[in-house]
Amino acid sequence: MLDPKSFLRSLFDAAVASAQPSLCIPPFLPKQPARGRFIVIGAGKASAAMAKAVEEHWDGPLEGLVVTRYGYNVPCEHIEIVEAAHPVPDAAGQEAARRLLDYVQDLNEDDEVLCLISGGGSALLSLPLDGLSLEDKQAVNKALLACGATITEMNCLRRHLSAVKGGRLAAACHPAKVTTLLISDVPGDNPMDIASGPTVADPTTRQDALEIVRRYKLDLPASVMAVLESDGSESIKPDDDRLAGAEVHIVAAPQIALEEAAKVAVDAGITPYILGDSLEGEASDVGVMHAGIARQVAEKNQPFEKPCLILSGGETTVTLKGDGRGGRNVEFLLSLAVALNGLDEVYALSGDTDGVDGAEEIAGAIATPDTLKRAVDKGLNPRLELENNNGHGFFEALGDSVVTGPTHTNVNDFRAILIL
């Protein structure tokens, strides 16, 4: 007999497994350079595991430097791994970004640079433009995380404040050949939005970044505004000759992860339906929307027949209003549970495939038909917990958190709703 909670966890594990660097990196490795050096650089929560995969499948000499999140180190023999903070940048990330730029200076056309990028690279490569301090970048990140901006909007602003992002790292490698391998964690898989595109040309402008500041009424330091209003904040554009020979390959993405989870469902005799891999919006609103679909299926057997599984991915946002522990996946899940109000035979899991939902070392959680009842029995008010943005505290109190530890990959959020 199917155990709903174990089944949902098996789906999540399958999604994470599909994006492991050991599987997705080897098919995309470039040819060994005939004469020059082979240098590996990169940043992101999966970058150390990506570097390890390169070492295990590369026959010739190589060297390199990669920065990853604290606790996500995977020891390599020839590639140095540096750890830094995420989601709010720290001095270690700033120094790592400076070292990466120094590392690729004075390369020639015979050299080959392999850049390994995954989600989290924006915070981990935190070297600001001249005129800005690390504290300025930290203030921008904190404001963006709290205002409800989309990941695309966040990365546009980041690209115009960074000495590394927005194609600047690839430009620094010129005239060497640059190949970038990406594990996508963003809706739409746009390379310029993955870690804010350090090796990808950026068609957006500083005026676009300033519009985002105005749209969300961000209170940013005067030094940040001065840089955004200057021509020096412009990123590397698509017609820049320094990026003419660069190659970019997406090696793992949210849609692939959802499809792998769907295969597990089929094997269990459950029909899966993928709503999409790039759903965005306020996490609580997306939760209500998913609850509406689930209720229609549960009560009317439409538009899908029971038993079935509803899958979706993407990256929602949370506009912080309370003083809870946050987390967009648990916010989605708590909103879903409140909207379903104990509807029988509906179970759900929502988690971040990198193992970290928000700033917590918790991937997400599982909701069951008796979630609200058990919460009330413990003296919790689900609606008040939702209003206080305290999804992590809520599900942890129920013992329903999903904790994975570092997954060494990142293909964004994973949502699964099982209707029996």
pLDDT digits (tens, 9 = 90+) for 387-413: 999 999 999 999 999 999 999 999 999
Question: How many residues in total does the chain contain?
Answer: 420
Nearest alpha-carbon partner for 354 in 416, 277, 409, 405: 409
Helices 134-147 and 151-159: crossing angle, nearest 10°?
160
Contacts of 399 (CB under 8 A, 6+ apart): none
Residue 117's identity, in one-letter code, is: I
Contacts of 379 (CB under 8 A, 6+ apart): none
112 forms beta bridges with 38, 177
Distances (CA, A) of 64 to 16, 29, 52, 79, 301: 26, 15, 11, 4, 55
- Residue 68, helix vs strand vs coil: strand
Distances (CA, A) of 302 to 27, 205, 214, 271, 298: 41, 45, 43, 13, 8
Instruction: Give the model's pLDDT for residue 326.
Output: 83
Q: At residue 306, what are phi and psi to the nearest 5 degrees? A: -80, 150
Nearest alpha-carbon partner for 65 in 46, 49, 84, 80: 80
Instruction: Give the model's pLDDT for residue 187.
Output: 85
Q: What is the rounded distance in angstroms from the CA atom of residue 81 to the CA atom of residue 65?
A: 6
DSSP code at position 251: E
Q: Evaluate whether 351 touches 362 at the Cβ level (below 8 Å).
A: no
Q: At residue 17, what are phi and psi to the nearest 5 degrees? A: -65, -35
Instruction: Give the model's pLDDT for residue 320.
Output: 86
Q: Which residues of the chain have pLDDT under 50?
A: none
Task: Give CA angle at 366 (364, 369), nearest 5°.
Answer: 155
- Residue 25 token pair: 């990196």
Task: Give CA angle at 237 (277, 90), nearest 5°.
Answer: 65
Q: What is the rounded distance in angstroms from the CA atom of residue 380 to the CA atom of residue 388?
A: 12
Q: What is the rounded distance in angstroms from the CA atom of residue 51 to the CA atom of residue 25?
A: 9
Residue 244's identity, in one-letter code, is: A
Contacts of 292 (CB under 8 A, 6+ apart): 339
Residue with tokens 């960074």: 162
Query: Domains along the chain?
Result: 4-14+255-419 (3.40.1480.10), 22-252 (3.40.50.10180)
Q: Is the pTM of this model over 0.85?
A: yes
